Structure 1
Amino acid sequence: MTQTITISRPLRHLVHQRDNANRAAVPVVGVAPVGSDRLSVQLTPVKGGTAVATTLTPDATTGQFSGNIIATGGSYALSITAYQNGSVVGTGQVSRVNVGEVLLNFGHSVAQGGIDANVAKYGNTTGPPATDDRVIVATGVQPYPYDESKLALDFQPLTAAPMNILPFNPGPYVYGLLGDKLVKQLGVPVLFLGCAFGGSNLDQCVKVIQGIPFDHSFIKYDQRFPIRQVESALSVYVPLTGGLRGIFMNHGANDRIDGTTADQFKERVRIVVDHLRKKAGRPDLAVWVAVDNQPTPDAIDLVAIRAGQEAAIASIPGVRRGLDLSKLFVSDRPDNVHLHENGFNRYAQGWADVLTPAALASCPMPAVVVPADPTPTVPTTPNPTLTTLATTLSQYGPAVALVVGVCLLTYVAWQRRQSLLLVAGGVVAVAGALVFTRTPRPTTDTTPTAA
């Protein structure tokens, strides 16, 4: 009777980060029927990608298996068939497995979306869902109090509204629109990790990193906010995806207070970027920094902040120019900061213009190691006759050579009737015989062996 194979990885809909050769190592982990001796693993393209198959060997006692299948960018259906002595004994499926791009969103309320009445009054800040089911998020209830161990591992297409974008954001906001644009231009699935925190700034992040307490009505230093949600995305979700293409950041407007200079803001960017790269284990992790602008002459003063953003982009390795907010219309931001729903599409298009195929391909990424097919070797069976001859010669070679030499010398002496040579030959013959008889013979080991 055919049994069901338990598949714990890959997780349904999860996007596995591809490398710059368009490949990802998709983990395949689970339990097959006990007694299975072979597993056939197949990925069948659903949207994009190329069919691929591999074979795994489960544990003979427990049925547990763990391995990888190398796949190119696209969406797939995974199937596993278990065999025992050539007969099918188990099957299992994962309806959707994705290989593509993983992007982390970090910033203040313009990046997070409407979270209170003061923002929502400018329109429906929920935003439209994605129309392409390759736009993926981790979704579920955001744990409160915040607890990384309770973050949901439920990955779903961002095709509903409202819909949380974990670890920290409501949605879809602008990310259904942005996701559709990216999937179309990249040709692969995209996973968003929502880490923006409305009302926050980089100065607070730096204080948390450096252990400098601060007071705020809802951003709690003692809980490591507003950087904790980014750290948890890197520790909880990125290990599942196998990587992260980069962070796209919209911070700056909230750092304008207290007369922040361009150099001060640039230094904040450097400290935060260094910290997140260290947490990610990626010293070359790409970070795109959005550039603020002055919406109207009487708007909040962002001249120094923009200069600091430009300086960070110019001087910090791997920090790249992100969305230019000057592309937005004045009417897109009624309070000169937050987005009216009419501005959602322009904001999304601005990021899509940054996150192009060429831009992503230029980001350093660890290469996926593709195991080489082992070259079979043909074992050789030693010839017993030649082996015996070689052993004999190695043991008796000197004595045999001496005897042969004596015989030849004696024959020559006899033919020439030279008595002196005959006598000499006889002496040598006797010496050779003595050497021959004293040459060690192979012995049989009679040491008793353990029973």
Structure 2
Amino acid sequence: MNLPTTNTVFQRSLQNEATVPVMGYLHLPYERIEARLVSLSTSAEPSWTTLAEYASTGNQDGSFRGTLSARGGWYRLEVRGIYNQQPRDTVVVARVGVGEVFLVSGNSNAMGVYGLGAKGATSEQVVSFDTLNKYLNVENITVAPDTPMPSPTFSTMTADSDVFPTGETPWYWGELGDSLVKRLGVPVCFLNASWAAANSINWREAAQGKNTNNIYVGKPWPNRQPYANLANSLRYYHSWLGIRAVLWSHGENDAVHLKLSQQEYFSNIKYLIEASRQALEYPMPWVIALSTVSYNADLPYAPVRSAQVQLAQTPGFQAWLGPDLDLIQKDRPNGHFENITNGEQGLTLAAQAWNTNLDARFFASQVPLVARSFLHTGVVPAAVAPGHTFLVPYYLAGGTSAAAPVQMELLTAEGEYVATVGTSSQNPVAVTIPAQVPDGSYRLRAVGQVPHRVGSVSEVFSINGQLAIPNLVRSLAAYPVQDRVMLHWLVATTPQSQRLTLQRSVDLTNYQELTTFTSTGGLPRLYSYVDDVPETQTTYYRVRVEQADGSTYYSRAVAVFRGDTPPFFSVFPNPVGTHEPIYLRPDVPTELSGQLFDILGRAIPAQLLESDVLGLWALYPQVPLSPGMYLLRVVQGTSQQTQRIWVK
């Protein structure tokens, strides 16, 4: 599974329902893929929905995608593969929500300030993306990139949470979320694109594509901020999560320091709202709070307040007049709301004001964006090198309109944007890895441009500067079944014809050919073969790929242990010859590190790395090992263990 992830909340419609995408990859020849959403608040057992059905293995392209409908609430998403008419494998996403999704924006009194008593949500049903994409430079200017945003990970909004992209602390939004959950009975998700010190002129100029000046520092914010964060949040998250409304709390800077007229503030924010709707390609509602009071001005400023009312009351503008925040905690020594110890709870009062304002009339009348179609990124190669070009397909789940052109974005394994590596109106998209990208683990994400759709994130693949050509064999799996071995391998999109030869070996040196498939090229395909007469000892299988241009490469091997099966997390062979490879078999896929010592405790230069055999790690001493006993200390996360190795 790659979409949705745990704690994702999708915006519901006025009819209290939403479309939930279900996307992922398959590496076995299932006959069909089924999914269901199981309510976490009832004991009902829903029926299964077929997402994909395959007449034969040759029809499988290595991925599945589809949608399910659900009403407001939390669900457990279950997806299962049916093989031989029986459930074979099941994957579970623990919590997927249908509820209310908001984007907060405005100035620092919407963004949040550390140390002023912000409370986290007490309910686990209030979630956010807990990270920031900004920093304060040495010139006291806030800097944030105007680049594609990272793949999100949602979690419960605690007192220590930040709220992506710029929200510092939960501020009062966590408390508001608690109230909404209690009243509406559905989960709530917040993102926060507020920006400290930004007045309405700044917001308008940034929306016009300019770098606008911070009047308190006398220098401009780079990268079209603060607008870029707002627009990119809408495009990279709300385009597929959906959104009920933008919650706008702003005006103090314009009232206290600029003394703008009603028309000036109205025109600036109207331009901002219209630009944001163009960015999302949907006229989502805006909730405009009344806000002009600050630390050195405890009286409301009528021109800005009148402009805020005018925005909300403009016919057909789809704006809602929000709470009157000028009535709350007028004595603000820090210029912001504050939950004062043994004193006035300004943040709590602000949350209560928002909760009162967002009443039943609001949720019955303000039409949200409910996403109905979703983009899925197809199968990627196993490994490529900088400068390599390869093809990656994309698919649409739900809806019928195209999303061309589509750009492919390179992300780190953790989901951070690296570079745009391909754009095309053709499917599949040609991807070229930039020459300067360092070796490591990466992902790809398809992003449609018209309309704007952000696709799911691919499985991890490797960039390895030592590779001569892309390794398109995405996976190879072997399963002993009684006296046979079932083998399945997935090949990514192939630009030319090729011969795929399955081979086996008992020593990782001498290989025997078992069968050959010929491909004319095209989209990803899953291959299968049954070894009816397997070896009686441990056997290694691999795929040899010979392309039409004469180039040849091999997949990583996969081991089938028989007879002398090594226990999990033990080195083998043991004893080992002085020139034999030393392997370690982890019990689960994991990251390992190791140190090698002689019997006297002296460190010996060595590396513990993933081997050419899937699921096995190999120890590579940097110096020849003399016969004797050695100690290998293996570290896995926070645990470690030491094993003896005898070299004969």
> Per the shorter chain, which TM-score range?
0.7 to 0.9
Is 1:352–2:350 an aligned residue pair? no
- CA–CA distance in structure 2, aligned partners of residues 218 and 240 of structure 1: 38
* TM-fit CA distance, 1:47: 3.6
3-state SS in 2 of match to 1:9? coil
- CA–CA distance in structure 2, aligned partners of residues 153 and 369 of structure 1: 19
Quote the residue 1:320 is aligned against. Answer: 320
Quote the residue 1:399 is aligned against. Answer: none
Q: What are the within-5 Å matches in structure 2 for residues 96-245 of structure 1? A: 96-115=95-114, 124-142=115-133, 144=135, 146-147=144-145, 148-149=147-148, 151=150, 153-158=152-157, 160-211=158-209, 213-216=211-214, 217=217, 220-241=220-241, 243-245=242-244
Q: TM-score, normalised on structure 2?
A: 0.51
Q: What are the within-5 Å matches in structure 2 for residues 19-418 of structure 1? A: 19-47=13-41, 52=46, 53-57=48-52, 60=57, 61-115=60-114, 124-142=115-133, 144=135, 146-147=144-145, 148-149=147-148, 151=150, 153-158=152-157, 160-211=158-209, 213-216=211-214, 217=217, 220-241=220-241, 243-256=242-255, 257-283=257-283, 285-292=284-291, 299=298, 302-315=301-314, 317-331=317-331, 333-334=332-333, 337-341=335-339, 342-365=345-368
* TM-fit CA distance, 1:299: 3.0
- CA–CA distance in structure 2, aligned partners of residues 18 and 280 of structure 1: 17
Give the letter for the 1:131 counterpart. Answer: T
3-state SS in 2 of match to 1:276? helix
What are the Cα deviations for residues 197-231 of structure 1, in whole angstroms up to 9, with x where unaligned?
Answer: 11111110111223455432387443111111111
Q: 1:163 to 1:39 in 2, by over 3 A?
A: same
- CA–CA distance in structure 1, aligned partners of residues 219 and 21 of structure 2: 37
* TM-fit CA distance, 1:298: 6.1
3-state SS in 2 of match to 1:222? coil
Q: 1:47 to 1:364 in 2, by over 3 A?
A: same
* TM-fit CA distance, 1:152: 5.0
Q: 1:149 to 1:213 in 2, by over 3 A?
A: closer
What are the Cα deviations for residues 266-302 of structure 1, in whole angstroms up to 9, with x where unaligned?
Answer: 111211111111111113x110101135589963661
Q: Which runs of 5+ in 1 are unaligned?
A: 1-6, 116-123, 372-451
Q: Please say if residues 48 and 74 of structure 1, whose CA atoms lie closer than 8 Å, have aligned partners that are also in contact.
A: no
Give the letter for the 1:330 counterpart. Answer: K
Give the letter for the 1:232 counterpart. Answer: N
- CA–CA distance in structure 2, aligned partners of residues 35 and 89 of structure 1: 11
3-state SS in 1 of match to 2:155? strand
Q: Please say if residues 113 and 169 of structure 2, whose CA atoms lie closer than 8 Å, have aligned partners that are also in contact.
A: no
Q: Please say if residues 126 and 172 of structure 1, whose CA atoms lie closer than 8 Å, have aligned partners that are also in contact.
A: no
Give the letter for the 1:362 counterpart. Answer: S
Q: Please say if residues 34 and 52 of structure 2, whose CA atoms lie closer than 8 Å, have aligned partners that are also in contact.
A: no
Moved more, 103-112 or 295-304: 295-304
Q: Please say if residues 49 and 74 of structure 1, whose CA atoms lie closer than 8 Å, have aligned partners that are also in contact.
A: no
Number of residue equivalences: 353
More strand by share: 2
Q: Please say if residues 104 and 194 of structure 1, whose CA atoms lie closer than 8 Å, have aligned partners that are also in contact.
A: yes
Q: Please say if residues 289 and 321 of structure 1, whose CA atoms lie closer than 8 Å, have aligned partners that are also in contact.
A: yes
More helix by share: 1
- CA–CA distance in structure 2, aligned partners of residues 172 and 206 of structure 1: 26
Q: Please say if residues 254 and 304 of structure 2, whose CA atoms lie closer than 8 Å, have aligned partners that are also in contact.
A: yes
What percent identity do the matched residue pairs reach?
A: 26
Q: 1:140 to 1:210 in 2, by over 3 A?
A: closer
Give the letter for the 1:54 counterpart. Answer: T
What are the Cα deviations for residues 16-43 of structure 1, in whole angstroms up to 9, with x where unaligned?
Answer: 1111111111000112342111222121
Give the letter for the 1:137 counterpart. Answer: S
Give the letter for the 1:57 counterpart. Answer: A
Give the letter for the 2:192 counterpart. Answer: G
3-state SS in 2 of match to 1:234? helix
Q: Higher relative contact order by CA 8 Å / sep ≥ 6: 1 or 2?
A: 1
Structure showing greater radius of gyration is 1
Q: 1:359 to 1:348 in 2, by over 3 A?
A: same
Quote the residue 1:388 is aligned against. Answer: none
Q: TM-score, normalised on structure 1?
A: 0.72
* TM-fit CA distance, 1:63: 4.0
- CA–CA distance in structure 1, aligned partners of residues 150 and 370 of structure 2: 29
Q: Which runs of 5+ in 2 are unaligned?
A: 136-142, 340-344, 374-396, 398-648
Q: Please say if residues 81 and 91 of structure 1, whose CA atoms lie closer than 8 Å, have aligned partners that are also in contact.
A: yes
Quote the residue 2:6 is aligned against. Answer: 12
Q: 1:275 to 1:296 in 2, by over 3 A?
A: closer
- CA–CA distance in structure 1, aligned partners of residues 229 and 295 of structure 2: 33
